[in-house]
């Protein structure tokens, strides 16, 4: 019989989107590698700086974008209070990361939790519930049509360069007018807003997973000036890139 809470620690190779559903509340946390998560018409990227809290018995789609090592934690529905949302992505605090590391000693076959391990898992459950109250702003609505999925995928591919809306429309065999309408109808955003969101999401991943200088990151995600990058980042994240990176060690 599996314990009320345990850690699932293993590695995965890159893989296309697949449906994921378990009968426990699930804290999905990657020690290395990046995931793409989709649920409820929204899409997130999940680098090691972030985690996802998934409600039991609700399906989500997961794509493994790069080789992944996870240290996820599963909580029985009696052990942990039910999460408010099917899927919430949030930034991991230093305390949450240390608690997950501590939980790695207890797996599915470890037997009943000791008083000490139960306190560790309950503390982690409380901490992640609190962190989930401040979800990540790095989220995109999921395109519904194949035509828009192609346009968004091409925008993601070209985002580090200087793509134009007209080029995106032409290369996906759509008129600019029709494509603009698809962005508005399916995502509630303009193409330029989507491009900016993609660039900020890429910057967040780089800030969390590399030691690159902020100026280098700004250029790598497609900004021609540091001031423009800082302004866009602060508008989206309510803090500067430097403050955001510091939040992972404070």
Terminal alpha carbon distance of the chain: 39
- From 110, 131, 152, the end of a domain falls on 131
CB 71 within 8 A of CB 9: yes
- From 103, 131, 159, the end of a domain falls on 131
How many structural domains are present in the chain?
2
Helix (H) or strand (E) holding 89: strand 87-91
pLDDT the model gives residue 41: 85
pLDDT tens digit sequence for 138-190: 888 989 899 999 999 999 999 999 899 999 999 999 999 999 999 999 999 99
Q: Write phi, then psi, for 104 (nearest 5 degrees).
A: -65, -15
pLDDT tier at 249, thresholds 50, 70, 90:
low
43 lies in a domain? yes
The parent domain of residue 194 ranges over 142-246
Whole-structure pTM over 0.85, yes or no? no
Residue of 196 and 36 predicted with greater confidence: 196
Residue 225 has pLDDT above 90, yes or no: yes
For residues 15 and 51, membership in a common domain is answered with yes
SS3 content of the chain, % helix, strand, coil (to 5): 40, 25, 35
According to DSSP, residue 114 is labeled P
For residues 180 and 120, membership in a common domain is answered with no
Residue 228 has pLDDT above 60, yes or no: yes
For residues 163 and 122, membership in a common domain is answered with no
pLDDT tens digit sequence for 61-101: 998 887 888 899 999 999 999 999 999 999 888 899 999 99
pLDDT tens digit sequence for 122-138: 999 999 999 999 998 88
Concatenated DSSP letters of 18-79: EEE--SSEEEEEEEES-EEEEETTEEEEE-TTEEEEE-TT--EEEEE-S-EEEEEEEE-TTT
For residues 101 and 124, membership in a common domain is answered with yes
pLDDT the model gives residue 248: 63
For residues 160 and 86, membership in a common domain is answered with no
pLDDT tier at 14, thresholds 50, 70, 90:
confident
Q: What is the mean pLDDT of the chain?
A: 92
């Amino acid at each position: 019989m599996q314990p009320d809470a345990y850690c699932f620690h293993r590695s995965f190779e890159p893989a296309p989107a697949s449906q994921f559903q378990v009968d426990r509340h699930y804290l999905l946390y990657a020690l290395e590698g990046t995931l793409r998560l989709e649920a409820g018409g929204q899409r997130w990227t999940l680098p090691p700086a972030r985690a996802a809290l998934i409600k039991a018995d609700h399906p989500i789609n997961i794509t493994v974008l790069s080789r992944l090592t996870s240290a996820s934690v599963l909580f029985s529905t009696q052990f942990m209070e039910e999460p408010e949302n099917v899927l919430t992505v949030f930034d991991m605090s230093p305390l949450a990361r240390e608690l997950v590391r501590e939980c790695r000693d207890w797996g599915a076959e470890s037997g009943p939790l000791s008083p000490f391990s139960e306190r560790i898992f309950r503390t982690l459950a409380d901490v992640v519930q609190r962190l989930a109250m401040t979800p990540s702003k790095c989220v995109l609505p999921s395109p519904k049509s194949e035509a828009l999925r192609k346009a968004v995928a091409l925008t993601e591919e070209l985002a580090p360069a200087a793509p134009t809306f007209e080029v995106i429309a032409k290369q996906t065999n759509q008129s600019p007018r029709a494509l603009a309408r698809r962005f508005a109808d399916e995502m509630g955003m303009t193409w330029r807003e989507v491009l900016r969101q993609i660039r900020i999401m890429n910057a967040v991943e780089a800030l969390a997973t590399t030691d690159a200088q902020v100026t280098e990151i700004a250029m790598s995600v497609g900004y021609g000036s540091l001031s423009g990058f800082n302004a866009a980042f602060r508008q989206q994240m309510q803090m500067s890139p430097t403050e955001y990176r510091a939040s992972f060690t404070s």
